[in-house]
A and B are shown apart, each in its own frame.
Chain A
Amino acid sequence: MKIEDILHFSIRASTGYRTRTLLMLLAMAIGVASVVILTSLGEGARQYVTDRFSSLGANLLIVLPGRSETTGGHPPMLGETPRDLTLDDALALNRSASIRRIAPITVGSAPVSWKQLEREVIILGSTSELYEVRHLSMGQGRFLPAGDPTRGGAVCVIGYKVKHELFSNQSPPGEWVRIGDRRFRVIGVLAKKGQSLGLDMGDVVIIPVASAQALFNTSSLFRILVQASSREAIPRAKQVILNVIRERHDGEEDVTVVTQDAVLSTFDRIFTALTLTVAGIAAISLSVAGVLIMNVMLVAVSQRTTEIGLLKALGAPRRQIMSLFLAESAMLSLAGAALGLIVAFTVIWVLANIFPDFPIRIPLWALAAAIGVSLLTGLVFGALPARRAARLDPVEALSRR
């Protein structure tokens, strides 16, 4: 029998029994759609987190004051208080070959005013190297000038939202603003860029670190951003940082170093596991569809018993009867999968339009797996009914009415 005739015969057979065909299509469609949609969501979440962390900048290490409980080692001794990180600590790190740049950071909040307008804004104190370390870019003017970090200048760089709210459409570079009780000259405006690590870079004012320390009357740093000289140098840089700080803090390792890659790969693992888990759960609905297919095909075999007897009387060998029924369940599965894909694509298209920032898209492997698994389900769960059909005794089958 020709392949096209087998397919044609199966299509005629399945359209002959509308209800059961629709039932099978529906079950398979639900299974396939849920696999594809859930994996797409998981994959999107992973992509989202990865993107956020990558935007921090390459080969980044973050030095925080205080020992983190999660890094293991000894619990803090009684009476031991972590020492502050100072600007000198930061500058001492600069001597290692495995470290390319450092950006010390102090953070505070102060009222910023120009003419009659005033706003409370986050003030970042840092150095010219922050520009490279955090992958910033300028919308107007230039960033903090290089120079001795221990000397503050009366200059500042403002975020685009601050610019918008204080200056609306006038050009800020060259203007003087008041931050707290001091005056700073605006030398640049940051380009529009998204969030990074929870801080909206549009809504900050950046001033030299020494000026910030004077402004907030402190000698401590919020954290130190360190850029390693290469990806391979990250572990060495981490060790150098710990060594230098311990030496400077009387032998106490009272800082925590977080590497961006470690964070990233952890998230990557978590989200991949999550995606696979939801895919697995969704796959259960596929196997439910498989069981349904089996039942529906068994019903089909008993409904069409006399037809099978007739096919045998006409000289159809077992193999042929088997392939007719297998073709039917495989085809119904594939049609259901196609329906499911249409549903999945529609849902994802709608979601992508509602949440344009969320990078949701259908992973190719999920697509291939959904189609492959549905076809396999059709064949595997169709095999038992098909075998039953092929083994029917023709005399008995024909004597049934």
Chain B
Amino acid sequence: MIYLDGIERVFQVGDEAVHALRDVHLEVKQGEYIAVMGPSGSGKSTLLNIIGLLDRPDRGVYRLDDVTATDLSDDQQAAVRRHKIGFVFQFFHLVPRLSASENIELPLTLAGMEPEERKSRVQAALKAFGLAGRAKHRPDQLSGGQRQRVAIARATIMEPKVVLADEPTGNLDRASGKDVIEILERLNLKGVTLIMVTHDPELGKRASREIHMVDGRIS
């Protein structure tokens, strides 16, 4: 489903070239649960961004569902992100002026879905993620765990095949972090491919496969 080969990503910082990814090869099957581990600055986020089509590699091939993603135009990549990929970030990235339910609704609105359909989907998601009483709350009225649950609901409302989570518990206390992991694992049980960056070796062990990165390479 995901196929990466010979991926290179180089950032130019001043006169220095920083190799964030070096000759990365990775294959992921539908429904896998992968933990990406490694020290800070080893290229984990960069890898996730390339898989999520937010960034383009400087060299190499990336195929997603047998489509060569690196050949797609910006608008085509946007369409792929819209329908196939869900992002979960360390800092939630909720829109501060929108309520929980409006944040969850956002991808549906951007996709031009009818309001009635949107409402019923959002209702279902609120219930599924234990947010039923929080629909009208703005992000600053929610706890960290609730915010991340809203973010996950938003990432999955379009029913993507892949969910990419970059340190989703990095900003949460243990209890709510555990909550969030359970939600993500439940999604994976329903067949969603889950790729999660984490520092926690315990969490890494729960995944079906661990990937260790050092200095831009998968070791």
Q: A residues bordering B, Cβ < 8 Å?
A: 1-2, 5, 9, 12-13, 16, 306-307, 309-320, 394-395, 398, 401
Contact = CB atoms under 8 A, between A and B. Distances in A.
Contact of A317 (B55, B78, B93): B78
Contacts, number: 68
Contacts of A2: 109, 112
B83 A395 contact: no
10 contacts: A2-B109, A12-B97, A309-B93, A311-B110, A313-B54, A313-B87, A314-B107, A316-B78, A316-B82, A318-B74
A359 B93 CA distance: 59
A317 B75 contact: yes
Interface in B67-107: 74-75, 78-83, 85, 87, 89, 91, 93, 95-98, 106-107
A316 B54 contact: no
B49 interface: yes
Interface residues of B, number: 29
B216 interface: no
B111 interface: yes
Contact of B93 (A12, A310, A319, A395): A310
Nearest to B95: A307
Contacts of B97: 12-13, 16
A316 B110 contact: yes
Given A13-B97, A314-B106, 20 more contacts: A1-B112, A2-B109, A2-B112, A12-B97, A310-B95, A312-B81, A313-B54, A313-B87, A314-B81, A315-B78, A315-B80, A315-B81, A315-B111, A318-B78, A319-B75, A394-B54, A395-B55, A398-B54, A398-B89, A398-B93
A313 to B, nearest CB: 5
Most B Cβ at <10 Å: residue of A5, A312, A318, A401: A5
B109 A9 contact: yes
Given A310-B95, A395-B49, A401-B91, A317 B79 contact: yes
Contacts of A13: 97
Contacts of B98: 12
Contact of A395 (B54, B80, B96, B107): B54
A1 B110 contact: yes
Interface of B: 49, 52, 54-55, 74-75, 78-83, 85, 87, 89, 91, 93, 95-98, 106-107, 109-112, 154, 158
B107 A315 contact: yes
B93 A306 contact: yes
A2 B111 CA distance: 9
Contacts of A317: 74-75, 78-79
Contacts of B85: 315
B15 to A, nearest CB: 20
Given A12-B98, A13-B97, A307-B95, A315 B55 contact: no
Contacts of A314: 81-82, 87, 106-107, 110, 154
Q: Which of A310, A314, A394 has the most CB of B within 10 A?
A: A314
Contacts of A395: 49, 54-55
A302 to B, nearest CB: 15
B82 A315 contact: yes
B141 to A, nearest CB: 15
Contacts of B80: 315
Contacts of B89: 398
Nearest to A307: B95
A310 B79 CA distance: 14
Contacts of A16: 96-97
Contact of A315 (B49, B95, B110): B110
Contact of A313 (B52, B91, B96, B111): B52
Contacts of B74: 317-318
B78 A312 contact: yes
A5 B102 CA distance: 12
Nearest to A306: B93
B36 to A, nearest CB: 16
